[in-house]
């Protein structure tokens, strides 16, 4: 994809004012959107889904990623593969159903057939000398950490190792790799640029005015009223950390720094809460290997599309997907213990209540934000002290991605490489 806009993103970036929102073109211009896809989405790690969707060999689901359709499929050898959904004969889509199980991937056009690792195994009436080994499906890079599947379309993607380490150490107690399943999925379209969605998810300046459900469970979403309240919060958090450490839980998070693109941490719900629920009462059986109901909330963010929050009895993941300069999609999945039975061990409404309400409120805010940004009277505005560090970290990272040299064409992984 090439950038066709007359607007030069580098000129706009050069005059970008730190800790202020971006100029309108960054949120609305199709050319800058194309540059975003090329330089941000095609060369960074992207979350696509949980391993419970591909537990068995041949199980697959489709993932739209940076304008591409990928087939995420488990091979006979147990590996998770990400294959471009493009036939090597004349280019047809191969998988048309959003998910399923396939013994072989058979193209609906002329029935070329492929194994789950992309190897071409069947192609009728091809001329003498046709070498099947040269026509395997193109593959994207795949990493699986704590049961979460990530893909990258480019060799230029940064090292995934630090992200994998943090996912494993923070999510191992929840059994996300081998003892969790999805209990509910919620997808929603929002008429807003993807950066406005991420900016919203990165700050809590708006929480007090918009998120009663979220704030019913956590105290740090709004500033302490006085020094005493502040001190009580700090003391409660410290006591929690000591308890959680004694239970073998990792409590030392990773902060965003100048050269990172993820962060994670474990913080407290309100005292006495046993779940991230509206009333603090449990919503589902404990996940994984845990034996104690505790009031912690784990949080994980990875630019540009992965947000995770959850407690001892469920984990929610939020995946952001750009659709166009002015439209995005989010997909939220809630994960519980795989043996838990809906309607018996948990009520899905209770599991999803806090984050579903919060996400819907956020999408309304973001849509209003985008509508205002489209006005000719919009101009960048300054961030508050509650927003500045987090949004600025994201926008600085974004600016670095956009300023980096364009990738050479065809840097994705070819079959067999």
Which residues bind to Fe ion, rule: CB under 5 A?
Answer: 362
Residue 362 interacts with which of ligand FES, Fe ion, none, CB < 5 to 8 Å by class: Fe ion
Task: Closer to ligand FES by CB, 90 or 411: give it.
Answer: 90
* Residues with Cβ within 8 Å of residue 170, at least 6 apart in sequence: 146, 250, 253, 264, 266, 298, 300
Tokens of 174: 């929840």
The alpha helices in 151-281, defined as continuous H runs, are: 161-171, 194-201, 207-210, 212-217, 227-246
CA-to-CA distance for 261 and 305, rounded, in angstroms?
Answer: 11
Task: Closer to ligand FES by CB, 121 or 403: give it.
Answer: 121
- Of residues 69-108, which lie at the interface with ligand FES (CB under 6 A)? 87, 89-92, 107
| Least CB distance to Fe ion at residue 49 (A) | 23
Three-state secondary structure readout of 74-122: ECCCCCEEEEECCCCCCCCCCCCCCEEECCCEECCCCCCEECCCCCEEE
Task: Closer to ligand FES by CB, 89 or 179: give it.
Answer: 89
Residue 331 interacts with which of Fe ion, ligand FES, none, CB < 5 to 8 Å by class: none
| Least CB distance to Fe ion at residue 232 (A) | 25
The alpha helices in 192-226, defined as continuous H runs, are: 194-201, 207-210, 212-217
CA-to-CA distance for 349 and 340, rounded, in angstroms?
Answer: 15
Distances (CA, A) of 237 to 216, 231, 295: 17, 10, 10
With contacts defined by CB under 6 A, how many residues of the chain interact with ligand FES? Answer: 10
Which residue in the block uniquely carries the two structure tokens 């995770």?
308
Which residue in the block uniquely carries the two structure tokens 């300054």?
382
Residue 112 interacts with which of ligand FES, Fe ion, none, CB < 5 to 8 Å by class: ligand FES
| Least CB distance to ligand FES at residue 43 (A) | 28
Q: At what angle do helices 388-403 and 194-201 cross, to 10 degrees?
A: 150
Task: Closer to Fe ion by CB, 29 or 362: give it.
Answer: 362
Phi then psi for 318, rounded to 5 degrees? -125, 125
- Of residues 166-185, which lie at the interface with ligand FES (CB under 6 A)? none
| Least CB distance to ligand FES at residue 123 (A) | 7
From the list 41, 45, 60, 112, which residue makes contact with ligand FES (rule: CB under 6 A)?
Answer: 112
Residue 89 interacts with which of Fe ion, ligand FES, none, CB < 5 to 8 Å by class: ligand FES
Tokens of 42: 């095609």
Which residue's CB comes closest to Fe ion? 362
CA-to-CA distance for 183 and 348, rounded, in angstroms?
Answer: 7
| Least CB distance to ligand FES at residue 84 (A) | 13
Task: Closer to ligand FES by CB, 87 or 366: give it.
Answer: 87
| Least CB distance to Fe ion at residue 385 (A) | 18
Tokens of 414: 């070819």
| Least CB distance to ligand FES at residue 109 (A) | 4
DSSP symbol at 201? H
Residue 90 interacts with which of ligand FES, Fe ion, none, CB < 5 to 8 Å by class: ligand FES
Residue 107 interacts with which of Fe ion, ligand FES, none, CB < 5 to 8 Å by class: ligand FES
Distances (CA, A) of 264 to 167, 234, 378: 8, 19, 34
Neighbours of 221 (CB within 10 A): 15
| Least CB distance to ligand FES at residue 93 (A) | 9
Residue 130 interacts with which of Fe ion, ligand FES, none, CB < 5 to 8 Å by class: none
Task: Closer to ligand FES by CB, 7 or 106: give it.
Answer: 106
Task: Closer to ligand FES by CB, 112 or 296: give it.
Answer: 112
From the list 109, 130, 230, 406, which residue makes contact with ligand FES (rule: CB under 6 A)?
Answer: 109
Task: Closer to ligand FES by CB, 87 or 249: give it.
Answer: 87
CB of 88 within 8 A of CB of 136? Answer: yes
| Least CB distance to Fe ion at residue 362 (A) | 4
Give the interface with ligand FES as residue ranges (CB under 6 A). Answer: 87, 89-92, 107, 109-112
């Amino acid at each position: 994809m090439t950038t066709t806009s007359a607007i030069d993103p580098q000129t706009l970036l050069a005059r970008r004012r730190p800790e202020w929102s971006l100029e309108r073109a960054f949120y609305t211009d199709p050319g800058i959107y194309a540059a975003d896809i090329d330089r941000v989405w095609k060369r960074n790690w992207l979350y696509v889904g949980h391993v419970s969707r591909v537990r068995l060999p041949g199980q697959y689901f489709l993932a739209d990623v940076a304008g591409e359709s990928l087939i995420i499929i488990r091979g006979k050898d147990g590996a998770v593969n990400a294959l471009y959904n493009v036939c090597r004969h004349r280019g047809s889509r191969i998988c048309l159903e959003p998910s399923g199980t396939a013994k072989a991937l058979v193209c609906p056009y002329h029935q070329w057939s492929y194994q789950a690792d992309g190897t071409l195994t069947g192609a009728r009436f091809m001329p003498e000398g046709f070498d099947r080994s040269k026509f395997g499906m193109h593959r994207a890079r795949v990493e699986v950490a704590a049961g979460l599947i990530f893909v990258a379309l480019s060799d230029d993607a940064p090292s995934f190792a630090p992200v994998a380490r943090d996912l494993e150490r923070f999510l191992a107690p929840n059994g996300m790799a081998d003892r969790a399943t999805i209990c509910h999925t919620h997808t929603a379209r929002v008429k807003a640029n993807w950066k406005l969605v991420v900016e919203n998810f990165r700050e809590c300046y708006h929480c007090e005015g918009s998120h009663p459900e979220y704030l019913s469970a956590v105290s740090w979403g709004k500033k302490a009223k006085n020094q005493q309240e502040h001190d009580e919060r700090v003391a409660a958090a410290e006591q929690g950390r000591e308890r959680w450490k004694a239970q073998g839980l990792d409590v030392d998070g990773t902060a965003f720094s100048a050269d990172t693109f993820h962060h994670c941490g474990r913080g407290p719900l309100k005292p006495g809460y046993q779940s991230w629920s509206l009333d603090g009462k449990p919503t589902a059986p404990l996940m994984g290997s845990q034996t104690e109901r505790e009031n912690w909330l784990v949080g994980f963010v990875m630019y540009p599309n992965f947000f995770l929050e959850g407690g001892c009895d469920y984990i929610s993941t939020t995946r952001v997907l750009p659709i166009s300069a002015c439209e995005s999609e989010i997909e939220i999945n809630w994960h519980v213990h795989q043996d838990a039975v809906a309607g018996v061990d948990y009520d899905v409404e209770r599991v999803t209540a806090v984050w579903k309400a919060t996400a819907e409120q956020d999408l309304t805010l973001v849509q209003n934000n985008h509508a205002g940004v489209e006005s000719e009277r919009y101009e960048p505005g300054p961030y508050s002290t509650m927003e500045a560090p987090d949004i600025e970290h994201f926008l600085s990272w974004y600016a670095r991605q956009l300023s980096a040299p364009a990738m050479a064409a065809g840097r994705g992984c070819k079959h067999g490489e």
